[in-house]
Chains A and B, each alone.
Chain A
Amino acid sequence: MPVEALASAAGTATMEITISKFELLRELTATQGVVERKTTIPILSNYLFEAAGDRLSLTATDLDLSLRTSCGAKVKKEGSCTIPARKLHDYVKLLPDADITLKLLENHWVSIRCGRSNTKMVGMAKSNFPALPVFPTAGVVNIPSKVLRSLIAKTSFAIANEESRYTLNGALMVLKPESITMVATDGHRLAHIERAGEKFDGISGEMKTLVPKKAMDELKSLLDSTETDAIEFAKDESTLYFRIGPRLLTSRQLTGQFPNFEAVLPKETPKSITIPASELSSAIQRVAQFADERSRAVRIRLEKGELKLSASSTETGESEDSIETNYDGESLTIGFNAQYILDFLKASGSGDVKLELKDAQSAGQLRPADSEDYKYRYIVMPMRI
C-alpha cells in the first residue's frame, strides 16, 4: 500500500488535506450506516482516512460489513489517520459551505479547520484499524444497478429476523449466464424474483451467493443514491464485494445452506383470480383491523364473481369486505397472515395482481398480472382458521 509506505518512510505519520465540505459530508453520510453506534470496541466507531494522490478515501467497518468510499481532495501531505465517526459527522454537518482543512497532529490528534472554526479531535492509532479485504482481480461480474435495486426491494422484506434460523438471515442470489434471481424467505413466505435477458460475462453454469440482510440493507441505500449504471460484484471464500461507483461495500459471507426453495414453489394452481392491487390492499387493511392481534389471520373466500375477506376476534368484533372478480370455479376458503400479503402488495406496486390457489391446505401464490421484464412470485403458507 503506497500510503503506508509513505507514512513509515517519513518516520512519523503525517496527513494534510483540503476538501470541500459538501463532498466530505456526502461521503460521511453515505458511510454512517456501517459505523457501529453501540460498541465498546473503540476503533469500530472511528473512520479510517487515507489521503493519496488527489483523493481522500474513507473507510468504516463493523467487522461484518465494511464500506470504503472516496472523494476528490487537495492533498498537501499524503498519509492516514482515524477519527471518531459520529462526532465528525455531527460536526461537519454544522460547518458552513466552504473548504475544510484536515491535518494530523501528534498523538493521533486531528485538527479540523473551516473558515473561522477550528477544532481538534483525538483519533486512534491507524494500526488498530482492522485490515480490509482486497477486491479480487478475477471473477468480477457486472450487474445493472437498476436490476439489482429492484431485486432487493422486492425480496428483502421477506428475510427472516429470527436468530435461530441463520441461513434464512439473508437472501440467495443466483447468477446464470443470462439471468439473475433473488430469493428470500422466513419459512412462512417466500419472495422469488428472476430477471432474464441479461448478459453476465464470466458466469458459467450457476453461481449461488447468500447475501446477509445487513449487506442487503446497506446495498439498497447505496444503490438508491448512485447514478452508476452497473455495479461490480465479486467474491472469495470469506467475503462478498460490491463496487458501486467509487464506493466499495464488503461483507463477510454467511455460512450454511439456503433451503431448497424450488420444492415449495407450487406446481399447479387451478384457481386463479386477477384483482387490482390497490383494492386488495385497502380491503385487507380494513379487515385486518379486526384480526387477532398476534396471528393477524384474515379469511379469504373465493366465490362465484366475488372475493370475500373477513376477520374476527373476540375483543374487537368482526369485519367483512368483498371485491368483485371474474371467478367462476368452485368456492374455496383459506386463511392468510394479513401482514404477509400487505408486504407483497407494497413491494409489487400498483397494477393488477394474480392470486393463485389450489386448496385450503396448500400455499398460495401472488404475482403481478403483467410484468414483462421480471418474473416475480410470492408464496405464502396458509393459516388454519
Chain B
Amino acid sequence: MGFSDFHGNAGVVHRLREMLAHQRFPQAVILAGPTGSGKYTLALMLAKTLNCLQPVTTDGLPDFCGKCSNCTRIAVAEDLEARTAEAVEARENLRETDKKETRLFIQTHPDVLVIPPDPPQLMIKVDQVRRVIDSIYYRPAEAKERVYVFTDAAFMKEAANSLLKVLEEPPEFATIFLLVENSGELLPTIRSRSMLVTLEALSLEEIEHYLAKHRSDWTSKQRALVARLAEGAVGKARSFDLPAYTAARAHALIILNSALRTGDHGELFKTTETYRAGAEGREKIERLLRTLYGLLQDLMFLQSGTPELLHNIDIESELRKLSEAANFDWIATAADRLAEVDRGMRRNLLRSLSLDAFAAALEK
C-alpha cells in the first residue's frame, strides 16, 4: 500500500508528495497524461494521503496507510468502471421524471466526490458542476480536505464556464483534480487557474519489466507485444485483453489482405457479417477500427524504414508482405477512409456494409 504501488513517473510523484509535505499542495490540479498512465489512480492516492487518519511516511515523504476508514472508503472508488456502471444503473431505476434531472456522481466517501462524464453524451454537464459548487463550501465532515475529481476533460461549454468561478477561489479545505489526456482540451482560462502536472507514458522496458512481475501467465513474446500495444500505459497493459485483440487483428488483416492482395471477397464478407447492428456489437467494431489504425501505422513504419517502432512484432513478416503491396498514398487514403467509417458508426450506419465498402474502395 502506498505510493510505491504507483508505476512510473517517479519524479512527478516525488514532486507532488513534496508539496504535500510542505503543505503547499495546489487547490486545483490538472493531471494530464495518456489513457492508463495512472491519472485516476494518482488522484485517489493523493486524496487518501490528504485525508489519511493514520498518515505514514515513506522515503521521508507523506504517504497513506490504506487501512483507515478514510483510505478504505476512498479506495472503493478505485474501480471507476464498476462504480460508474452502478451509478448508471441507479439512475435507470429512478422514476422517469427524475431520470432526466439526475446526473452521475460517485461518492464512496462523504468528502470525496468523483464526477464522471454523464452518458449518453459522455460529457461533464452543468448540473454536475453546480452540484460541486453547491457542496464545496460546506466544511468537510469526516476528512480534512474535500476532494473533487473530474475524470474527463469533455466539459459542456456551460459546465466549463461555471467551473471557472469555483476554480478561481476554492475554499481552503478543497482540492479539485481535473484528469485530461491533453490539457489543450480545456479552456485556457481553466488551465491558467490550475497547476498542470503531466504524466509521461512509460518506456517499453518499464512496462515489460512490470508485466514480467504481474502477468507471469503470459509468455515473454506476448508480454513484448502487449508492452508495445499499451503505448506506455501501465494500467492498460496489465488489463490488456489479448484474445480479443488477436481476434480483432485477424479480422483487420483479412480486410487489409482483401484490399491489398488477394481480393477474396468470400472471406471478407464472412468476416464483416459478424459485425452486427445493436449496442452489443459496438465494442467489437470499435476494437476492430482501433486495430486497423494500429496496423496502418505499422505499415507506415515499415514503409519509412523504421521497423524498430513496429507494434505488432509477432506478425512482422506478414506485415512486410502487405507493406510491399502498399505505398504511402494508399496508406494515407486508407487512414482517411477509416476515419469516415468511424464517423459513420456514430451516425449508426450498418457496420458490415461500411466495412465492405471500406475494403472495396481500397482495392488496387
| Chain A residues at the B interface, C-beta cutoff of 8 Å | 37-42, 63-64, 130-131, 133, 163-164, 166-167, 169, 212, 237-239, 252-256
Is A254 in contact with B138, judged by CB distance below 8 angstroms? yes
Top-4 shortest CB links A-B:
A40-B87, A252-B138, A38-B102, A238-B139
Which chain A residue lies CB-closest to B138? A252
**Given known A-B contacts A38-B101, A40-B102, A164-B165, A64 and B137 have beta carbons under 8 A apart:** no
**Given known A-B contacts A63-B110, A163-B130, A164-B165, A38 and B94 have beta carbons under 8 A apart:** yes
**Given known A-B contacts A63-B107, A164-B165, A255-B173, A40 and B91 have beta carbons under 8 A apart:** yes
Is B139 in contact with A255, judged by CB distance below 8 angstroms? yes
Bound-state CA distance A212–B106 (Å) is 24
Is A133 in contact with B105, judged by CB distance below 8 angstroms? no
Residues of chain B with a CB closer than 8 A to A40's CB: 86-88, 90-91, 102-106
Is B142 in contact with A64, judged by CB distance below 8 angstroms? no
Which chain A residue lies CB-closest to B135? A64
Is B101 in contact with A252, judged by CB distance below 8 angstroms? no
Is B138 in contact with A41, judged by CB distance below 8 angstroms? no
Kindly provide the distance from the CB of A318 to the nearest chain B CB, expressed in whole angstroms: 37
Q: Besides A41-B105, A255-B173, 13 other CB < 8 A contacts? A: A38-B101, A39-B90, A40-B91, A131-B110, A133-B141, A164-B165, A166-B133, A166-B137, A167-B137, A253-B138, A255-B172, A256-B137, A256-B171
CB-defined A-B contacts under 8 Å, sample of 24: A38-B101, A38-B102, A39-B90, A40-B86, A41-B90, A41-B106, A41-B107, A63-B107, A63-B110, A63-B135, A63-B141, A64-B135, A130-B110, A131-B110, A133-B141, A163-B130, A164-B165, A167-B137, A169-B137, A239-B139, A239-B141, A252-B139, A253-B138, A255-B171
Kindly provide the distance from the CB of B53 to the nearest chain A CB, expressed in whole angstroms: 12
Q: Is B98 an interface residue (CB 8 A)?
A: yes
Which chain B residue lies CB-closest to A36? B102
Kindly provide the distance from the CB of B159 to the nearest chain A CB, expressed in whole angstroms: 13
> Which of B87, B90, B172 has the most chain A CB atoms inside 10 A of its CB?
B90
Kindly provide the distance from the CB of A156 to the nearest chain B CB, expressed in whole angstroms: 17
Residues of chain A with a CB closer than 8 A to B165's CB: 164
Is B140 in contact with A238, judged by CB distance below 8 angstroms? yes
Bound-state CA distance A64–B138 (Å) is 7
Residues of chain A with a CB closer than 8 A to B217's CB: none
Residues of chain A with a CB closer than 8 A to B104's CB: 40
Residues of chain B with a CB closer than 8 A to A255's CB: 137-139, 171-173
Residues of chain A with a CB closer than 8 A to B172's CB: 255
Which chain A residue lies CB-closest to B165? A164
Kindly provide the distance from the CB of A164 to the nearest chain B CB, expressed in whole angstroms: 5
Residues of chain A with a CB closer than 8 A to B162's CB: 163
Bound-state CA distance A40–B137 (Å) is 21
**Given known A-B contacts A131-B142, A163-B130, A238-B140, A38 and B98 have beta carbons under 8 A apart:** yes
Is A41 in contact with B87, judged by CB distance below 8 angstroms? yes
Bound-state CA distance A39–B90 (Å) is 8
B167-181 vs A: 1/0 string, CB under 8 Å?
000011100000000
| Chain B residues at the A interface, C-beta cutoff of 8 Å | 86-88, 90-91, 94, 98, 101-107, 110, 130, 133-135, 137-142, 162, 165, 171-173
Bound-state CA distance A40–B98 (Å) is 11
Kindly provide the distance from the CB of A308 to the nearest chain B CB, expressed in whole angstroms: 42
Kindly provide the distance from the CB of B92 to the nearest chain A CB, expressed in whole angstroms: 10
Kindly provide the distance from the CB of A21 to the nearest chain B CB, expressed in whole angstroms: 24
Residues of chain A with a CB closer than 8 A to B142's CB: 131
Bound-state CA distance A42–B108 (Å) is 10
Is B98 in contact with A253, judged by CB distance below 8 angstroms? no
Which chain B residue lies CB-closest to A131? B142
Bound-state CA distance A169–B88 (Å) is 31
> Which of B88, B137, B171 has the most chain A CB atoms inside 10 A of its CB?
B137
Which chain A residue lies CB-closest to B101? A38
Is B90 in contact with A42, judged by CB distance below 8 angstroms? yes
Bound-state CA distance A241–B65 (Å) is 32
Bound-state CA distance A38–B107 (Å) is 14
Kindly provide the distance from the CB of B96 to the nearest chain A CB, expressed in whole angstroms: 12
Kindly provide the distance from the CB of A135 to the nearest chain B CB, expressed in whole angstroms: 15
Bound-state CA distance A41–B102 (Å) is 11
Bound-state CA distance A132–B135 (Å) is 17
Bound-state CA distance A176–B105 (Å) is 41
Kindly provide the distance from the CB of A45 to the nearest chain B CB, expressed in whole angstroms: 8
Residues of chain A with a CB closer than 8 A to B130's CB: 163
Residues of chain B with a CB closer than 8 A to A237's CB: 139
Is A238 in contact with B137, judged by CB distance below 8 angstroms? no
Residues of chain B with a CB closer than 8 A to A256's CB: 137, 171
Kindly provide the distance from the CB of B193 to the nearest chain A CB, expressed in whole angstroms: 15
Which chain B residue lies CB-closest to A169? B137
Residues of chain B with a CB closer than 8 A to A63's CB: 107, 110, 135, 141
Is A212 in contact with B171, judged by CB distance below 8 angstroms? no
Residues of chain B with a CB closer than 8 A to A64's CB: 135, 138
Bound-state CA distance A64–B110 (Å) is 9
Kindly provide the distance from the CB of A341 to the nearest chain B CB, expressed in whole angstroms: 29
Bound-state CA distance A130–B143 (Å) is 12
Residues of chain B with a CB closer than 8 A to A239's CB: 139, 141
> Which of A38, A64, A237, A253 has the most chain B CB atoms inside 10 A of its CB?
A38
Kindly provide the distance from the CB of A292 to the nearest chain B CB, expressed in whole angstroms: 26
Kindly provide the distance from the CB of A83 to the nearest chain B CB, expressed in whole angstroms: 15
Which chain B residue lies CB-closest to A66? B141
Bound-state CA distance A37–B91 (Å) is 10
Which chain B residue lies CB-closest to A165? B165
Is B141 in contact with A238, judged by CB distance below 8 angstroms? yes
> Which of A40, A41, A131, A169 has the most chain B CB atoms inside 10 A of its CB?
A40
Bound-state CA distance A166–B141 (Å) is 18
Kindly provide the distance from the CB of A62 to the nearest chain B CB, expressed in whole angstroms: 10
Bound-state CA distance A41–B135 (Å) is 15
Kindly provide the distance from the CB of A384 to the nearest chain B CB, expressed in whole angstroms: 27
Bound-state CA distance A174–B308 (Å) is 74
Bound-state CA distance A242–B180 (Å) is 43
Which chain B residue lies CB-closest to A250? B141
Residues of chain B with a CB closer than 8 A to A42's CB: 86, 90
Is A212 in contact with B138, judged by CB distance below 8 angstroms? yes
Residues of chain B with a CB closer than 8 A to A253's CB: 138-139
Which chain B residue lies CB-closest to A37? B98
> Which of B88, B98, B130, B138 has the most chain A CB atoms inside 10 A of its CB?
B138
Which chain A residue lies CB-closest to B107? A41
Bound-state CA distance A64–B106 (Å) is 16
